[in-house]
Amino acid sequence: MSRVAALALALLPLATAAAEDVVTLRTEDGGRRDAVGEVIAYDSRLLSLRAPTGALLDFPAADVVKVTTPRLPGHLAGLRAWAERDVIATRQNLAAALEEEPREWVRREILAALVTADLAAADRPSAGGRFLALFRSDPAATDRLGLLPVPWGDRPPRGEELAAANRWVNGPDEAEQLLGAGVLVGSPSRRAGAVETLQRLSRSGSNEIAELARLQRWRAKVLDGEGTAAELDAARRRIDDLPEPLRAGPTFTLGVAAVAAGRNDEAIAAFLWTPIADPVDPIRAADGLLRAGDLLRAGDPLAAIRLWRECVARFPFAEAAEDARRRLDELGAAPDKPLEPADDASGEAATAVPAAADSP
């Protein structure tokens, strides 16, 4: 935090219940302090706050821990609906709130939540449109590329996704082109052209765009059955070097590649990373739990059952949850029935898969 900002912060009154916005900031001594007032603007660089005195103060975004602000009723209703895993109500309420919310920085928060809700509804075209609106409102926020709703699995795109991808791949900016090419990589008939686009994007001036494009090119080789063990190991190192918000999707591809290479332990770890660390794409997270359970079924059926139950409980709207229910039925294990102690042959306590960060 700059000395000027620190001095201004010291002159601010402590937060009160009457304050409209409360901004929690890191201080130079490693502590935290609340500033109150009205947030005028907040992007990846700065937060501008109008203090109760009328003074306008700027704070580096890196110093902001959190912002507590009043939200519109529709925004709150959307968050409550998501907590209940009501995807339809989540999308309806958040979309209504987006229309009503005048604050640009809060609109970004709603758009980010809508990307996740659209993906939960398996509506990638809508998620893509929301993401592009969000990204273009603050292009310097490269960590938001973690929200890019690009596929990282091995399922071919649907018709409406292909139509949207055809527009995106010819779009005006690199984030949009990457989104389109990533979708088209999943289509065998469009893969070669998509790889050409990814080759160009891998030379982007944005390190994040370039690295994601390289990993999508590797995904194309995995889908063609041409990925090598050396390339898998290299991809793992590249993923480890990514900023954490960008790792979840490529890690899922790592799981797909590890299965093809017969490296099941690595695949299980990769698939489980998704539901642990991916708050963006619920469908991918559910698929990770399902696939990890499938790989564990023969050697550790109790662990598989736990993962499938986790899938059903956390992502009841996903196709993977339906598949998990069928697997549980095959084993006579009800989705909501806890394991009896006698059923656990190891005698060890069950280890639940941690939930990812709340999203929307």
One domain for residues 352 and 269: yes
How far apart (Å, rounded) are the C-alpha atoms in residues 108 and 90? 16
What's the pLDDT at 250?
Answer: 97
| DSSP 8-state code for residue 47 | E
Could you tell me if 270 and 236 lie in one domain? no
Ranges of the chain whose pLDDT falls below 50: 1-19, 339-358
Q: What is the structure's pLDDT at 338?
A: 53
Dihedral sign (CA 196, 198, 199, 203): positive
| Residue 19 belongs to some domain of the structure | yes
Same domain, 18 and 95: no
Angle between helices 229-241 and 207-223 (to 10 degrees): 150
Q: How many domains does the chain have?
A: 4
Residues 268 and 360 in one domain: yes
The answer to whether residue 258 is domain-embedded is no
pLDDT the model gives residue 294: 98
Same domain for 53 and 36:
yes
For residue 241, CA distances in Å to 143, 278, 320 come to 14, 17, 30
Indicate whether 75 belongs to any domain. yes
Is 252 part of a structural domain of the chain?
no
Residue 31 belongs to a domain: yes
| pLDDT at residue 337, rounded to an integer | 62
pLDDT at res. 340: 47
**Is there a single domain that holds both residue 84 and residue 52?**
no
User: pTM for the whole thing?
Assistant: 0.86
Judgement on whether residues 274 and 350 belong to the same structural domain of the protein: yes
Q: Is residue 216 part of a domain?
A: yes
Tell me how far apart the alpha carbons of residues 68 and 54 are, in angstroms, rounded to a whole number. Answer: 19
At residue 248's C-alpha, the angle toward residues 243 and 253, to 5°, is: 120
The closest of 247, 318, 330, 249 to 294, measured between CA atoms, is 330
In terms of domains, do 51 and 76 share one? no
**Nearest residue to 95 via CA among 76, 81, 109, 75:** 75
Same domain, 51 and 81: no
Structural domain boundaries enclosing 225: 150-242
Which residues is 93 bridged to in the sheet? none
